Structure 1
Amino acid sequence: MKKVAVFGNAGGGKSTLSKRLSEITGLPLYVLDKIKNPEGDTEIAQEDFKRAHQQILATDRWIIDGFGCMETIWQQLNEADSLVFVDFPLYVHFWWVTKRLITGYFKPPEGWPENSPVLKSSLLSYRVLWLCHKHLTPKYREYIKQAQSIKTVYHFRSAKQISQFFELIGNDNLNSTQQPRL
């Protein structure tokens, strides 16, 4: 495990999972929301983002958390040796976006850029939830189905599976030849 793509619909806990995985493995973590929106409320130019994304992909070790754009997500998945797909039922993603909206007023959401507008970002997440579920999630599922013969794939369908994953790896290094599978 040297290049890990963490992806899935909004509100699935990808940032928390990515941060914890980075702490355990020592792999550098790149949060795409922080790269796209370094000030929290303003987005950098698309070409600048794509260039930064390409520079990350060119390195030999990384965890990339999130979705940049349609072009970069497939590059990211193709370059990764390990895929972590957070694929909860839609109502769970919806609830977790709602929970993040409420708690975001007291504590900034995990992995979000400083000064992110919690209400505006949450409303965008609500709009994206159904579109991703309807159009992108089926493509992700097909991709990992094809990729599992050549990549390590972790397909999480519940928070319990994520907890079990971290219990399995404990303090073990994921770079070992015995990788936990769910």
Structure 2
Amino acid sequence: MKKIAVFGKPANGKSTLSKKLALATGIKLYAVDSILYKPNGEEVDRKYYEETHESILSSDKWIIEGFGPMNSMESFNRRLEAADTIIYIDLSYPVTYWLVAKRFLKGLFIKPEGWPEGCSILKGALESYKILKLCPKFWNHAFLERLEKRTEGKSLHVIRSVSALNRFIKDNVE
């Protein structure tokens, strides 16, 4: 594991898992949201994002957590090509809706793990629900089949429950 891509639906534990992986391996962690958004929550210039993303991909080791711009699959696809390890966290929708609500409530008091500095927790929660509504259109069985084909010869981990996520952390990180 030298180039690790971690992605999934909002609030599925990507940031927590990625941080633990980074600590255990010493590999630098990059949160997509931190390079996609300015501290005030506005998106950065797309050219800046793409250049930063490509610079990370060209390094020897990295963990990139997140999906990226919803209106462009290019950076996500490039990340899949470059990664040797892909971790797709695909918790059920009821669990995910609950985790978004839980992150929002907790975020009123403590900044959520991996949350960009200065970004509104309310705006983020509303955006997460908006994204969740769209997820079944692209993160479905056909997506998983394409992912499996694209990642042949790589280490692909699909995590579908909180207990499997905890087990993955215990078996691969702790």
How high is the TM-score relative to the length of structure 1?
Answer: 0.88
The residue identity in structure 1 corresponding to 2:17 is L
TM superposition shift of 1:157: 0.4
Aligned counterpart, 1:28: 28
Aligned counterpart, 1:157: 160
TM superposition shift of 1:145: 1.9
Percent identical across equivalent pairs?
A: 38
Aligned counterpart, 1:12: 12
Q: Deviation per CA, 1:13-48, whole angstroms, max 9, x where unpaired?
A: 101111011111111100010111131422211111
Q: Which runs of 5+ in 1 are unaligned?
A: 172-182
The residue identity in structure 1 corresponding to 2:63 is I
CA distance, structure 1, for counterparts of residue 37 and residue 120 of structure 2:
11
TM superposition shift of 1:170: 5.0
Q: Is residue 79 of structure 2 the alignment partner of residue 76 of structure 1?
A: yes
CA distance, structure 1, for counterparts of residue 148 and residue 165 of structure 2:
19
Aligned counterpart, 2:139: 136
CA distance, structure 2, for counterparts of residue 117 and residue 18 of structure 1:
22
**Matched-pair contact (CA < 8 Å) for 1:27–1:63:** yes
**Matched-pair contact (CA < 8 Å) for 2:9–2:96:** yes
Q: Secondary structure at the match of 2:139?
A: helix
RMSD (CA atoms) = 1.5
The residue identity in structure 2 corresponding to 1:36 is L
Q: Secondary structure at the match of 1:85?
A: strand
Aligned counterpart, 2:64: 64
Q: Secondary structure at the match of 1:5?
A: strand
How high is the TM-score relative to the length of structure 2?
Answer: 0.92
Aligned counterpart, 1:86: 89
CA distance, structure 1, for counterparts of residue 144 and residue 130 of structure 2:
21
**Matched-pair contact (CA < 8 Å) for 1:18–1:65:** yes
Return closer, same or farther for 1:40/1:150 CA change in 2, 3 Å cut-off: farther
Q: Secondary structure at the match of 1:84?
A: strand
**Matched-pair contact (CA < 8 Å) for 1:90–1:133:** no
**Matched-pair contact (CA < 8 Å) for 1:40–1:112:** no
Q: Which runs of 5+ in 2 are unaligned?
A: none
CA distance, structure 2, for counterparts of residue 15 and residue 149 of structure 1:
25
TM superposition shift of 1:138: 3.9
